[in-house]
Structure 1
């Protein structure tokens, strides 16, 4: 069973680490800011689609969002502008998916080295 309060706390933590507001995340997800607030408080269930979008935005796996004991490598990108549009965030999420895939390939390669 997924602990919604824990998931919400992680979403808030990752959002703050990314210097994003609830409004900016809501725009990215095409939902109202109050929905993001409810997710962060653990008062709202989160669809797998939204979890996937958040994982891409925050450059982490879905497991790291929904599991208490999973912490993993994340990437952070610094921007000179504080006014990122939702389109900018969508582009960033695509780049982050590539980075996440690279993290996974690196894990597989390390596991392969241990087998040899």
Structure 2
């Protein structure tokens, strides 16, 4: 099963924490928020996570490369070039989520 996580926001309500790195990498309970979500998805059978990224995508992907191997889960990226709202990133990632098999996918957001 696949999952899409919307992680493209600027994290303005968490500033100054998010001035240097994306909101999903902010620690919550001694671990970045995105790792809590990816570990929970892995535990329920998700084998591929697509991240809908806009803000600082290179920082996010570099951080997650190590965890992709450790967690044995495929992590890919769908990058917005400009903010597209909530449904825009979902449409942009359509090719990575829908493969013709009819298998459902999950959609989450980092709040």
- The structure in which a higher percent of residues are strand is 2
Higher relative contact order (CA 8 A, sep 6+): 2
Q: TM-score, normalised by structure 2?
A: 0.30
TM-score by length of 1: 0.29
Structure label with greater radius of gyration = 1
**If each structure's helix is expressed as a fraction of its own residues, which one has the higher value?**
1
